[in-house]
């Protein structure tokens, strides 16, 4: 095993000082094959805005199209994920994308949009989309609980992942 410009050995997955994910060539090939499975979010989003505003039952719901959960509000809450899409991320760390998950809270039935750039969640959703592409209608919708690590590295958000529930 050699080392790369970050000092990481090839074959390892690490975060370098810039926060970028460093993968071995095999890891890059796996990631690139999964990444293509996540649908691109539509650029304008007008249909999502239309649907969200049309579902308003009072004046408070008129801004629902611009509300999304950042995950913290959904930690330990059972959710149903109906669809996923990707958008490029402006953050200099991670995989360079974030995922947009649409579905519902199972505790209230309330529709939700959850946006995440957490590495584990992005990887899980990429594989879920790859499985869905091979077996249409067999993966989405699915149920999960957002879990968060009890401790975070200094200056970083706690790690998150989806615990799949049946």
pLDDT tens per residue across span 64-86: 666 655 577 899 999 999 999 99
Q: Looking at per-residue confidence, does 166 or 106 come out higher?
A: 106
Q: How many CB atoms lie within 10 A of CB 54?
A: 10
Residue at token pair 């649907």: 51
In a 13 Å sphere around the CA of 70, the CA atoms on its Cβ side amount to 3
Length of the chain: 166
Judge whether 4 lies within some domain.
Answer: no
Judge whether 6 lies within some domain.
Answer: no
Three-class secondary structure of residue 66 per DSSP? helix
Number of domains in the chain: 1
Judge whether 41 lies within some domain.
Answer: yes
Distance CA 74, CA 145 (A): 8
Judge whether 9 lies within some domain.
Answer: no
User: pLDDT at position 29, please?
Assistant: 85
Closest CA to 153 of 49, 33, 22, 17: 17
Judge whether 17 lies within some domain.
Answer: no
Distance CA 100, CA 52 (A): 15
Judge whether 79 lies within some domain.
Answer: yes
In a 13 Å sphere around the CA of 144, the CA atoms on its Cβ side amount to 26
Judge whether 154 lies within some domain.
Answer: yes
Q: Assign 35 a pLDDT band (cuts: 50, 70, 90).
A: confident
* Angle at alpha carbon of residue 99, lines to 96 and 104, rounded to 5°: 165
Judge whether 150 lies within some domain.
Answer: yes
User: Could you list the residue range(s) of the whole structural domain that residue 149 is in?
Assistant: 36-165
């Amino acid at each position: 095993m050699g080392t790369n410009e970050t000092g990481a050995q090839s074959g390892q997955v690490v975060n370098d000082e810039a926060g970028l994910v460093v993968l071995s060539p095999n890891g890059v090939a796996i990631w690139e094959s999964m990444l293509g499975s996540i649908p691109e979010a539509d650029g304008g989003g007008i249909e999502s805005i239309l649907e969200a505003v049309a579902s308003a039952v009072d004046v408070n719901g008129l801004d629902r199209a611009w509300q999304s959960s950042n995950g913290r509000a959904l930690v330990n809450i059972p959710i149903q994920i109906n669809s996923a899409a990707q958008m490029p991320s402006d953050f200099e760390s991670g995989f360079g994308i974030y995922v947009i998950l649409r579905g519902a809270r199972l505790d209230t039935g309330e529709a939700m949009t959850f946006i995440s750039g957490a590495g584990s969640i992005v990887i899980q959703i990429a594989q879920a989309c790859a499985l869905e592409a091979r077996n249409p209608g067999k993966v989405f919708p699915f149920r999960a609980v957002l879990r968060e690590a009890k401790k975070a590295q200094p200056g970083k958000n706690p790690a998150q992942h989806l615990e799949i529930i049946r």
